[in-house]
């Protein structure tokens, strides 16, 4: 009896610990460590090598890779609820944006009198004739308080929404549509000028973070390394969850929720935990994204952004932890290259990627690798058997 391939999601009804075994293979761990080292060296190549050196990495490349790592964290967060628990969310763009807006509030307060109007208030509030900060901007000039908001606000929203949705047994396409509607409603709310979040333009023109100039090379490098550390830490935490009893219950919910209830488990609190944790992780990704990209606006909440996250996970291979990271990097590198040449055709290509992956790569990029490896192993076994017979 052959051992199940650790890269491929198990068949329906099977227990799922197999994908996490990918991280247990020595060769895979060495490859991942090499990738982490290479990623960590990108800012160093920008700081310590002159532009004339072939080893120099541009500031643009540092910011772009940092942005992709934020996307990878968001994709990992979605994989925990979709790949492992079978809950397809089309609203994770909301949690990503909430983290970004909370971070943006601190960054706007840190501008001080360096704005166009040299006022205590952000420029957009002065332009709209606001006289004071609204109450929900209180204490947002404190970095630790803002990070409390980054964790608590999306978690509270996810918990309340998830409690009523999961208690009502809403699942499948109905849950996906509701999450998309929630995200779209939030986007329309944040587009309004009277909400105090910059309206259509959002937040931009940041100057400092924790007293450091936000555009300085060392500041950008530090933000990049922090993002890399969070991405690695998120993978390790996700691996811990997937390998635990909690992870086995989550995959049992995905494979057969009714059977799990029959043996005495209540899926509500398990689903609610992973849904809330995923929202928090996605919010952290958004908070790390904003200071590196330099802007946050309601467009981050658009349904298209949440759908893109699903495509990242599907392209890399859902339920594998590493696959969503691969998918986020691959799709966004392709987006960067394609939009620079044919920007008006990117959405068509994105739709084609989704259709092709669904039809021909249902297990993503890692699934193709697993099938190739399995084919190679079978050929080696046949060759070995024929040699023994001879």
Q: Report the relative pairing of strands 295-296 and 203-204 from DSSP bridges.
A: antiparallel
Q: Which two tokens stand for residue 303?
A: 């349904």
pLDDT of residue 384: 74
For residue 347, tell me if it sits in a domain.
no
- pLDDT tens-digit profile of 99-134? 999 999 999 999 989 988 999 899 999 998 999 999
For residue 380, tell me if it sits in a domain.
no
pLDDT above 50 (res 2): no
- pLDDT tens-digit profile of 321-375? 999 999 999 999 999 999 888 888 888 888 898 888 888 888 888 877 666 666 6
Return d(Cα 216, Cα 209) in angstroms, integer: 11
pLDDT of residue 216: 95
Question: Which segments within the chain are labelled E, that is strand?
Answer: 203-204, 208-209, 212-213, 295-296
Highest mean pLDDT among 207-211, 261-265, 374-378: 207-211
Return d(Cα 110, Cα 100) in angstroms, integer: 15
Looking at per-residue confidence, does 379 or 390 come out higher?
Answer: 379
Cβ-based neighbour number of residue 77 at 10 Å: 29
Among 67, 139, 51, 17, residue whose Cα is nearest residue 294? 67
Domains identified in the chain, total number: 1
pLDDT of residue 4: 39
pLDDT of residue 20: 53
pLDDT of residue 17: 37
Q: Which two tokens stand for residue 117?
A: 């109007």
Among 44, 385, 20, 53, residue whose Cα is nearest residue 235? 20
For residue 44, tell me if it sits in a domain.
yes
For residue 267, tell me if it sits in a domain.
yes
What percentage of residues in the chain have a pLDDT greater than 90? 71
Which domain, by its residues, includes 132? 24-51+58-303
Among 383, 320, 384, residue whose Cα is nearest residue 4? 320
- pLDDT tens-digit profile of 282-309? 999 999 999 999 999 999 999 999 999 9
Number of H helices, E strands in the chain: 13, 4
For residue 254, tell me if it sits in a domain.
yes
- pLDDT tens-digit profile of 29-65? 788 889 999 999 999 999 999 999 999 999 999 999 9
For residue 342, tell me if it sits in a domain.
no
- What distances in angstroms separate CA 44 from CA 38, 210, 226, 258, one per listed residue? 10, 22, 14, 52
Q: Which two tokens stand for residue 301?
A: 């909440």
For residue 322, tell me if it sits in a domain.
no
pLDDT above 50 (res 8): no
pLDDT of residue 27: 67
Question: Residue 390's pLDDT band (boundaries 50, 70, 90)?
Answer: low
For residue 329, tell me if it sits in a domain.
no
């Amino acid at each position: 009896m052959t051992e199940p391939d650790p890269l491929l999601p198990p068949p329906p009804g099977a227990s799922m610990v197999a994908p996490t075994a990918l991280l247990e293979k020595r060769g895979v761990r060495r490859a991942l460590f090499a990738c982490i080292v290479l990623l960590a060296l990108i800012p160093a190549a920008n700081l310590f090598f002159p532009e004339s050196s072939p080893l120099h990495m541009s500031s643009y490349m540092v910011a772009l890779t940092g942005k992709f790592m934020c996307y990878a964290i968001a994709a990992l967060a979605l994989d925990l609820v979709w790949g492992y628990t079978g809950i397809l969310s089309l609203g994770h763009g909301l949690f990503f944006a909430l983290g970004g807006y909370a971070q943006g509030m601190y960054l706007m307060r840190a501008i001080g009198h360096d704005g166009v109007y040299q006022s205590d208030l952000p420029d957009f509030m002065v332009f709209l004739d606001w006289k004071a900060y609204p109450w929900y901007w209180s204490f947002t000039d404190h970095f630790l308080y803002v990070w409390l908001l980054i964790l608590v606000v999306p978690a509270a929203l996810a918990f309340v929404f998830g409690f009523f949705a999961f208690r009502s047994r809403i699942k499948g396409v109905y849950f996906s549509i509701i999450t998309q509607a929630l995200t779209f409603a939030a986007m329309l709310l944040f587009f309004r000028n009277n909400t105090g979040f910059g309206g259509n333009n959002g937040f931009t023109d940041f100057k400092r973070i924790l007293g450091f100039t936000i555009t300085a090379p060392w500041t950008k490098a530090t933000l990049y390394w922090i993002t890399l550390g969070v991405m690695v830490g998120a993978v390790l935490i996700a691996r811990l969850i997937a390998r635990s009893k909690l992870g086995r219950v989550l995959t049992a919910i995905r494979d057969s929720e009714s059977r799990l209830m029959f043996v005495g488990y209540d899926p509500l609190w398990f689903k609610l935990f992973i849904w809330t944790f995923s929202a928090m992780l996605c919010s952290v990704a958004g908070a790390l994204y904003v200071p590196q990209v330099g802007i946050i606006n309601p467009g981050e909440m658009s349904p298209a952004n949440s759908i893109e996250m699903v495509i990242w996970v599907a392209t890399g291979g859902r339920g594998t932890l590493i696959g969503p990271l691969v998918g986020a990097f691959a799709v966004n590198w392709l987006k960067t290259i394609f939009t620079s040449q044919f920007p008006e055709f990117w959405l068509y290509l994105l739709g084609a990627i989704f259709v092709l992956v669904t039809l021909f790569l249902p297990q993503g990029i890692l699934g193709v690798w697993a099938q190739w490896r399995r084919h190679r192993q079978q050929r080696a076994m046949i060759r070995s058997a024929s040699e023994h017979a001879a």
